[in-house]
């Protein structure tokens, strides 16, 4: 099972040869999938639960900054960019009011750009310049009184990927994680 510590440390550990992710990559049946397509950037997600954590393998489609969804998360999370040209911005607000962007980053996915969102009032946008592949580990949902009121669920039903697309993405991620 996972080692204790921050999600960023956990993600770093997991991506080493010692982690659980490598074992999970042995069988596609360990993973579920979903197409997150209610707002750009569209995300093809392969995910599984490990204890209280969720591991998500994301293929994120390119979009313009003006299209990207600036949002908080209802859980602590850590991310690593494996491939593609990744652009993100970070802001802070403890209300539903959209924050000013405090920091923007662009990086080439090579497994060296990691960041976490451990505060419920941190917001981010992802506006990939090219399609990107990332890994996200998230913890359980924050307590209801801590969740930022701007956290919203999709306004449409999110469907799984086709089995063919899931397998195609799984094989791409295996090149990085197995």
**What domains are defined for the chain?**
7-27+34-146+159-177 (2.60.120.10)
Supply the pLDDT for residue 125: 97
Supply the pLDDT for residue 153: 83
How far out from the chain centre does Cα 60 lie?
Answer: 9
User: What are the average pLDDT values for consecutive 10-residue runs of the chain, which has 178 residues?
Assistant: 65 74 93 97 97 94 96 94 96 96 94 90 97 94 92 91 98 92
Supply the pLDDT for residue 2: 47
Supply the pLDDT for residue 150: 92
Supply the pLDDT for residue 18: 65
Instruction: Report DSSP letters for 90-152, one per residue.
Output: EEE-SSSSPPPEEEEEEEE-SS-EEEEE-STTEEEEE--SS-EEEEEEEEEEPPTTTS-TT--
Supply the pLDDT for residue 16: 65
Supply the pLDDT for residue 14: 77
Supply the pLDDT for residue 5: 58
Q: Name the pTM for this structure.
A: 0.92
**Secondary element (H or E) of residue 14:** helix 7-14
| Other Cβ atoms within 10 Å of 145 Cβ, number | 6
Supply the pLDDT for residue 19: 79
């Amino acid at each position: 099972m996972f080692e204790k510590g921050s999600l960023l440390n956990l993600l770093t550990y997991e991506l080493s040869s010692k982690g659980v992710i490598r074992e999970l990559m042995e069988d596609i049946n360990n993973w579920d999938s979903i197409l997150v397509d209610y707002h750009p950037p569209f995300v093809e997600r392969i995910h599984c639960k490990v204890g209280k954590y969720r591991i998500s393998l994301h293929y994120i489609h390119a979009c313009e900054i003006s299209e990207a969804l600036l949002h908080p998360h209802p859980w602590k999370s850590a991310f690593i960019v494996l491939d593609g040209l990744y652009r993100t911005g970070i802001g802070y607000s403890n209300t539903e009011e959209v924050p000013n962007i405090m920091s923007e980053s662009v990086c080439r996915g090579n497994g060296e750009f990691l960041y976490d969102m451990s505060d419920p009032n941190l917001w981010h946008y992802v506006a990939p310049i090219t399609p990107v592949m990332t890994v996200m580990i998230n913890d359980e949902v924050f307590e209801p009184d801590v969740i930022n009121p701007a956290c919203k669920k999709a306004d449409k039903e999110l469907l799984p990927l086709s089995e063919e697309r899931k397998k195609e993405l799984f094989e791409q991620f295996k090149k990085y994680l197995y």
